[in-house]
Amino acid sequence: MRWSIKPQPLSQEVARLSEALKVAPLIAQLLVQRGISNYEDAKRFFRPQLSDLHDPFLMKDMEKAVMRIEKAIAYEENILIFGDYDVDGTTAVAMVYTYLTEEYANIATYIPDRYREGYGISFQGIDFAADNNVSLIIALDCGIKALDEVAYAQQKHIDFIICDHHLPGESLPGAVAVLDPKRADCNYPYKELCGCGVGFKVLQALAARKGQSVERLVPYLDLVATAIAADIVPMTGENRVLASYGLKVINSAPRTGIKAITQQIKKKELSITDVVFIIAPRINAAGRMEHGQYAVQLLTATEFDDARRFAEEIEQFNLDRKGLDREITAEALQQIKENQEETRYTSVVYDEKWHKGVIGIVASRLTETYYRPTLVFTRSGDKLAASARSVKGFDVYKALESCAEHIEQFGGHKYAAGLTLRSDQYQNFKNQFEKVVSNTIDPKLLVPELHIDAEIGLGQITPKLLRILKQFAPFGPGNMTPVFMARGVQDTGYARGVGEEEKHLKLTLTQKGSRPIGAIGFNLGEKLSLVKTTKGFDSVFSLDENEWNGETTLQLKIRDIR
């Protein structure tokens, strides 16, 4: 890894904030690095309030959207809630459906089939709406580029309201309302909402028109927090407020479906990290392995027995997904080795038997192994379909644009994308992609970068410091877990490998004049000999807690050693 210490703020700025908040300079430094420079900013950071949420009517087309929904209800029209099959889409559909059906019955949900229809608004979905006399479709987490589909719906006298957060193209669909903070002509103050977050703003606007306060909508925030966590959007601004309140709901009064998932977990309180690794993969597994509608059924269930049945089915989907993930990853790694492609700038692999629902996860796994732009292909009908993943700092979407002559269709963003191409173009594409990446990527981006907030001594680490740092949560992009470096540390002599094949590293560290502190380094087992044979080494870590036999102790979570 490349170790990179973040730019250190001006000492007078840190001193000023330290004095204003009556906190240690280290805490003040971490806050300044996060853009917090005064008492008011700090108050909003540590105590997010629903009053910090923006007026939903600041979003372009919100008035039009609300009026169209109110009209549909007044004239007893049939409404279809349409969403993508991933976590962001299915939580958004469940949220809007649940809110509207509290007072209105003529509402159905629709999640496209990942394999037959693909991503986003589908002609098949519009035909379903027409066959069921639907006159309004509310699309969530998709639709910003669905110009042809929305035009097709207009021919069938179906109106669209689009709620999306992806980058628009040059033209917008001809919908009644297009809600997307990333629209060039939208002056909404916060641009980083997820799809479910945009859906929540619609609920906030509808509630405001009824004279309801935003507090009335808090029970829906378990879904919004789950979407924010799963979609890896910045944990700043409104997302931080919504995630903070949503986590409280998840831990105190979750909806029946989320409760059915979390009951299987022996943990008192879930963090955003737990949502990412425990709740989100299970919801995602429905769309990956079977159909996203299973996730909507789970998240809209009102009877616990029903929710538990759906949760058990989804748990099986998730187990199947894990098995395929391991199997396909092993085959893909073997393919790279057999073709002697370890030294290339890209990883591009293909097998027609690989399951389309897990190729995105496999692409991520390969990126973790070789750390370079990666595409995993499988057969999809008479075409090949791929998921692309990139490394930090490299725009894979732009690289795909440079290979457009070989591609049928593609979409996505800087770090993740999807595409289809004809099978006879696979080798041409693979060669072109390697050429484009090798000519444009900065070689240092092929080594993962480890961002360090501050250099500290082990003597500065106390339970009080950990208590304060825990209040920095929820963590995510824009507010990552603080990472520290300590130089010249030593193990007390008890370092050992732990876990399967001893691939993890268990340590007890000291530094001149400091008391010993326990530490764990996941996947750092190969560093054991370095620890045992070196008098002093540098370590990068975050602060963590270790729960064992009912006791909780402070420990370091080692990220790297050298």
- What are the boundaries of each domain within the chain? 2-47+450-561, 56-313, 339-446
Q: Are 269 and 251 in contact (CB under 8 A)?
A: yes
- For the chain, the first-to-last Cα distance in angstroms comes to 10
pLDDT at 548: 79
Nearest CA to 217 among 250, 247, 246?
A: 246
Q: Are 176 and 64 in contact (CB under 8 A)?
A: yes
Nearest CA to 1 among 394, 451, 484, 365?
A: 451
Query: How, if at all, do strands 517-521 and 504-510 pair?
Result: antiparallel
pLDDT at 150: 97
CA distances from 274 to 475, 477, 517, 542 (A): 11, 16, 25, 17
Sign of the dihedral through C-alpha 200, 206, 209, 214: negative
Reported residue count of the chain is 562
Architecture per CATH, 2-47+450-561: Beta Barrel (2.40)
Kindly state the DSSP code that residue 9 receives in the 8-state scheme: P
pLDDT at 249: 97
Identify any residues that bridge with 137 across adjacent strands, giving them in sequence order. 80, 160
In tens digits, the chain (562 residues) has pLDDT values of 999 999 989 899 999 999 999 999 999 999 999 999 999 999 999 999 999 999 999 999 999 999 999 999 999 999 999 999 999 999 999 999 999 999 999 999 999 998 888 788 999 999 999 999 999 999 999 999 999 999 999 999 999 999 999 889 899 999 999 999 999 999 999 999 999 999 999 999 999 999 999 999 999 999 999 999 998 899 999 999 999 999 999 999 999 999 999 887 777 789 999 999 999 999 999 988 889 999 999 999 999 999 999 999 999 999 999 999 999 999 999 999 999 998 999 999 999 999 998 999 999 999 999 999 999 999 988 999 999 999 999 999 999 999 999 999 887 778 888 899 999 999 999 999 999 999 999 999 999 999 999 999 999 999 999 999 999 999 999 999 999 999 999 999 889 999 988 999 999 999 988 899 999 999 999 999 999 888 899 999 999 988 877 788 899 999 999 9
Tell me, letter by letter, the H, E, C secondary structure of 499-535.
CHHHCEEEEEEECCCCCCEEEEECCCHHHHHHHHHCC
d(CA 503, CA 526): 7
**Could you check whether the bond before residue 474 is cis, i.e. omega within 30 degrees of 0?**
yes
Identify any residues that bridge with 508 across adjacent strands, giving them in sequence order. 518
CA distances from 53 to 16, 18, 59, 208 (A): 28, 27, 12, 13
Nearest CA to 167 among 152, 190, 153, 183?
A: 183
Nearest CA to 467 among 23, 50, 35, 40?
A: 23
- CATH fold label, 339-446: Diaminopimelate Epimerase; Chain A, domain 1 (3.10.310)
Kindly give the interhelix angle for 25-33 and 463-470, rounded to the nearest 10 degrees: 30
d(CA 432, CA 410): 16
pLDDT at 558: 97
pLDDT at 533: 86
Q: Are 90 and 234 in contact (CB under 8 A)?
A: no
Kindly state the DSSP code that residue 212 receives in the 8-state scheme: -
Burial class (CB in 10 A: 0-12, 13-18, 19+), 272: buried
Is the domain covering 56-313 a CATH 3.90.1640.30 domain?
yes
Q: Are 420 and 380 in contact (CB under 8 A)?
A: yes
CA distances from 14 to 21, 248, 476, 478 (A): 11, 31, 23, 19
pLDDT at 177: 98
pLDDT at 410: 85
Kindly give the interhelix angle for 237-252 and 195-209, rounded to the nearest 10 degrees: 80
d(CA 302, CA 258): 11
